[in-house]
Structure 1
């Protein structure tokens, strides 16, 4: 059967139907998919709810309304620790409940929207969450003191109990919940002195370990509402292409296939289970209208970026003496990073049940309110008619900061009777996704007496911020794209940074773990090594001389160097060259230095033998969580350094799955050491810094081993074969 695209579900007839039968109302919160859930009941006891985050019932149950989402970064545990510390509750006494969609109540204090990303969770909530706990504790103490007719200052708390030592009286929080509800919240409750912390700064077992270990944890892809069918889809292999014609005769003959949905830009096969839907999709005969991007190639996209680099940029920072490429005595270099996919272990998925006047969604997302808004737009409903069930995320990496999958799933669901789970195959996810864009950096500097006296950095790349968070795109500057360029740690004399916005033709781009600093840390740290060698100086000593006014950066650099054995001889096997390389970075509010140790074979093969990272992320909430995040970030960044690349030919992405979009495999994994530097400063971010620190450290180690400075990623082994050239 030949089929033409069906009308959009947001078209007049469908929208009029939904509006005509619309009814109001929305059940907004869903318990987190862990073992310890807070479940709303009609017969629930009186609840003390001093703010949007804390609930203490008269039966003593304490609940944290969780504003951030868990995608492997340990934020469920860290946020619970913040509340439990200031409330004087045992960690095990706090249950979790997912926050409903609400920018007003649960907007990330940094973004002002309800989003988890940018290594901001602990940074954003370190003070607000502790103040919420401290305020609730103060109100409970007030309630007890009033009942006992004593001075609140004479009361103390421990393990969910208020005590009055002088009289020996005590009351559990649950018995005080009703009375505390009538107390006036303190406007600025005092926070604990860090010296008295019971939980913060001490390693705690993650709260999601048991459920993830025994398989009871629920991810978006696990959603199974009654009667659910499963769909998988295909979009045009060329970005922006449309469907011209579909022959679904063979697909409909596959056992278990229930229907084929053809829309303007995609076709979906709906079946009783994923296998039927996938087999049906394989049997479709699709004729595409590939549109204007059918000739795109990696070479043409790269050439366009180089052409854009010739345009004047928007000034970001301009101080002191300037320098231009081509001037006498000026050292110049350019650096590039490729398109990258996110490739989370849990592929994109979204389960939708669209009814007249209501839409229910099961998903794992980093952006609850954006999902709600996009679903409402696609269904022709109001946001308060959309119910969101958020789940654990099997990897986010920035991909689940987007809502394109929600739009597609809702439009498919508009043609399905009952709930439908839409699942992207790995190939569909990698080949037709949103990507970390190519970026370029053009740097120039002048040296005098072995030190830089003038520095210029031009960043060329797209603006994800302009689309994703327009208020943050000001004066033509993307604050993410220049992160790590406009605020690098070194004293380099005259300092000039500008930004050239360049959107790659036809290729949809989005955030990728490490965001803008991926490009800028790679380029700055690679260029610092280049300058050190031009100055005939050791890369470590060269950096030290530029950090006299930056003691935290200097400390992590020295800590990493000491643990890595900088300056000591490296063992080498016959037929290989060895070297160490440094990266120093001060992004995401944290200070990191990584030293990589590599061996490069005479044939150009690269073996990363060791990674040593020193971290000053300010006050640490859960030390084991910080170390785990750095370890995971190092693996993610090393995968990009060794293998990561999305390439285009005839408008199509050439990679399709983990066989040709590689991640680090177990036999490639180096020894990893992470050393935490004690600090009393406010917490910095930790989810992304590990990723951004790897590529420059490895590239500089290769430079030390071979004399070849790599200016593009991933590593090109042909340049490193003995006698190779840049």
Structure 2
């Protein structure tokens, strides 16, 4: 079957599940990729068809962040392809695509015993783990770090093979051939990729592959004005046309012959069990195919999803809750342990603990749990036949989802074919794979193709929110006034949410078991960003483990949401107490991070910063995600006011340094989207629990920003030759403290809890 560009762009069912490998991997990884008619293989990343279409395999989940444009763009620029001839297909879950940087970052989650022996050993273990476990997870902004280099090398090898084929035909040196815009040329001779593909695929690529001297870049030139957002981007998103016309396929769009539709009802999040339901109450509803009962849920399948949902409502499933959780109980635990609980020292700089001999000023900040709340609820399609399972699903960790589904129905992971589908949004929610387990059970029980879609109620019930936290910050100020900080101590009370998440992802534990397994553990990942980017003589960070009884997970921004809000609010407070102007006060402490200082200056200039004087409504914040060498940086000035309709954010001005930019249009989208996400975190409604259930199941009650709430947003990127860094979470974490500081400027009220209005004004 000939695979068309439209087929490649709009669906995974055509190309999903293909297992591929390429020359630069160890020989024991086979290359079973089967090209369509007229296509020729160029390793694990590239296929070139005789009509000239270059298909690029992408091993990361497309969830709105544009990765299915970024990686093909890298290949196109290195290969010398015309962007109009480039298509994309989801890469299979395979050892050819290890996400080694993420495996290194999460090493203590999958191997807490061996990690930390030595840097060399950790690198080796991460390499081995990522390949052996087919670890291709999409998270923590590691797509470029993990895949830019191998994608470039594969494209460079393919370019050389095309040049070798042309050179053989023309009797010239292949190094003298030019490869530009999908054409190989030498003097007056030229040939298209399609004309050369068949012979080029049999050429032996040079080792190492001949990379172009310039890495893919879309950086603004030094001294340039912000990009004209109305200009046509050089590399427009590949997925944009199909998303506009509605042909882009998500897991909920999969249709299989004879497929039925399943709805599901869950009990409270932690440790609930199904005790009964009224099966007879659904007898009058047409189209019911069957019900599947599990220890912790009840599903009904029907010829339409609405019939299945109506049947569930009529059957009124009942659950027992062994550990009902209320928000008031969680807050009381955090309150008690933050003040007096045992803690672990997780980080220190400079003189560390010894540098702080007194506390001159201290403040407490609280952060409520937050949902990822993607608009698209969990959905998957499955087909069970002959002891094998086919699974169509959007997953940020597809191999872990595949293994969990296999274990659930008692088969080998090799008997599960997982077809990667894009997500309409995730914000880390699709790192969880509970719905993969559920649909595996349902498909096997019914013995026919089925699609499972969670209703909004169950998406909120089974959500793993970002953990709540209490943060206590104390500072020792330099003698002589001016508010200079000599030492800072940060104490964070929160559950070890990263380890809890790791037990679910890598250990396949249910939430209650993961909580029991991690209670009392030190969790450095749960405190990321708690070491400020400022030059301070002494900093120490302590983790106070708290068992809340409610499962926690990952949400866009993760721990940096907590740390950025607390640190930047505290810095603003110290400046105000000591009559220091907020911008110059921060600048005086940023001698060790010139790039972040430049972001601050640029954001202040963009917003026409007035010093944050009383009633101005301007507030600023800055943050760095990652280390001083490779981290991403952002500074933001917010203009916010309290009005008759509540708090209104009128403007956000952000200056960003993410190193070398591969696609500035996508980077801008990520920052703008992150800032809007941050407005939701800052001004949305708090997630409250009663008896282990959310107090509301209404999506509207989350208080997420609407179109009318969108402020004027200005984003500028600072030119940089540093390694690329991810922009996806920067806006999310910097917006809340900038807005909080703006509200202080406007009203004189210091809001120390997220969401900012959770306790009212």
Q: CA deviation at 1:439?
A: 2.2
Aligned to 1:189: 209
C-alpha deviation, 1:476, in angstroms: 5.9
Q: Which of 568, 586, 608 is equivalent to 1:565?
A: 608
Structure-1 residue corresponding to 2:633: 591
Q: Per the alignment, do residues 691 and 530 of structure 1 end up closer, same or farther by CA in structure 2, a change over 3 Å counting?
A: same
**Residues of 1 paired with 2:523 and 2:638: CA distance?**
31
* Pairing 1:498–2:498 present: no
Q: Does 1:363 align with 2:408?
A: no
Equivalent position SS for 1:586: strand
1:135-173: per-residue Cα shift (whole Å, max 9, x none)? 2212322333344443333221112222222xx323333
State the secondary structure of the residue aligned to 2:527: coil
The Cα of 1:578 is off from its aligned counterpart by 4.3
Give me the whole-angstrom Cα distance separating, in 2, the residues matched to 1:36 and 1:408: 21
1:580 aligns to 2:618 (yes or no): yes
The within-5 A match list for 1:195-206 is 203-206=234-237
Match of 1:34 in 2: 10
Quickly say closer, same or farther: Cα 1:33–1:421, change in 2 above 3 A: farther
Question: Equivalences for 1:154-553 in 2 at 5 Å?
Answer: 154-165=176-187, 168-194=188-214, 203-237=234-268, 239-291=270-322, 293-294=323-324, 296-309=325-338, 310-322=340-352, 328-448=358-478, 449-450=481-482, 451-469=484-502, 478-486=523-531, 488-505=532-549, 507-553=550-596
Change (3 A) 1:197 1:566: closer
Give the 3 Å change call, closer, same or farther, for CA 242–469 of structure 1 in structure 2.
closer
Task: Give the C-alpha shift of residue 89 in structure 1.
Answer: 0.2
Please tell me whether the aligned partners of residues 625 and 730 of structure 2 are also in contact (alpha carbons under 8 angstroms). Answer: yes
> Is the Cα contact below 8 Å between 1:36 and 1:96 reproduced in 2?
no
Q: Deviations over 1:207-252 (max 9, x none)?
A: 1111111111111111111111111111113531101121121112
More displaced stretch, 449-458 vs 108-117? 108-117
Match of 2:109 in 1: none
Which ranges of structure 2 fall in alignment gaps of 5 or more residues?
1-5, 16-32, 104-129, 222-232, 508-517
C-alpha root-mean-square deviation of aligned residues, in Å? 2.9
Aligned length: 677
Q: Is the 8 A contact 2:686 2:758 kept in 1?
A: no
Q: How many angstroms apart in 2 are the aligned matches of 1:556 and 1:79?
A: 27
Question: How far, CA to CA, are the matches of 1:494 and 1:325 in structure 2?
Answer: 5
Identify if the C-alpha distance between structure 1 residues 200 and 274 changes in structure 2 by more than 3 Å, giving closer, same or farther.
farther
Look up the match of 1:76. 68
Q: 1:714 to 1:43 in 2, by over 3 A?
A: closer
Q: List per-residue Cα deviations over 1:667-698 (Å, max 9, x = no partner).
A: 32221111122222211101221111111111
Tell me, in whole angstroms, the C-alpha distance in 1 between the residues paired with 2:567 and 2:551.
26
CA 1:326–1:590: 2 relative to 1, 3 Å: closer
TM-aligned CA deviation for residue 708 of structure 1: 2.4
Gaps of 5+ in 1: 1-29, 721-726
Kindly indicate whether the alpha-carbon contact (under 8 Å) linking 2:290 and 2:302 is maintained by their aligned counterparts in 1.
yes
Quote how far apart the aligned CAs of 1:59 are: 4.8
TM-score (norm 1): 0.87
Deviations 1:270-315 (A, max 9, x none): 1110111111111113332221x12x21111122223333334332
Q: Which has the higher contact order (CA 8 A, sep 6+)?
A: 1
Is residue 109–residue 125 contact of structure 1 (8 Å, CA) maintained in 2? no
> Which residue does 1:100 correspond to in 2?
92
Instruction: Quote the Cα distance in structure 2 between the aligned partners of 1:332 and 1:460.
Output: 16
Q: Against the structure 1 CA distance between its residues 42 and 636, is the aligned structure 2 distance closer, same or farther, given a 3 Å change threshold?
A: closer
**TM-superposed deviation, 1:124:** 2.8
Cα distance in 1 for partners of 2:180, 2:589 equals 48
CA contact (8 A) 1:599 1:607 kept: yes
Provide TM-score, normalisation by structure 2: 0.83
What is the distance in 1 between the residues matched to 2:442 and 2:13? 32
SS of match in other structure, 1:133: helix
Shift of 1:469: 4.6
Q: Report the counterpart of residue 741 of structure 2 in structure 1.
A: 700
Pairing partner for 1:45 from 25, 38, 41: 38
Q: Which residue of 1 aligns with 2:652?
A: 611
Aligned partners of 1:580 and 1:700 also within 8 Å: yes
1:578–1:600 Cα contact (<8 Å) kept = no
Q: Do the aligned residues in 1 keep the contact of 2:383 with 2:450 (CA within 8 Å)?
A: yes
- Whole-Å Cα distance in 2 between the matches of residues 208 and 521 of structure 1? 33
* Equivalence for 1:121: 143
State whether residues 350 and 422 of structure 1, in contact with CA within 8 Å, keep that contact through their aligned partners in structure 2.
Answer: yes
Quick one: distance in 1 between partners of 2:523 and 2:8? Answer: 34
* Contact 1:606-1:717 within 8 A present in 2 as well: no
Report how far residue 62 of structure 1 moved: 1.7
Q: Provide the C-alpha distance between the structure 1 equivalents of 2:606 and 2:259, rounded to a whole number of angstroms.
A: 54
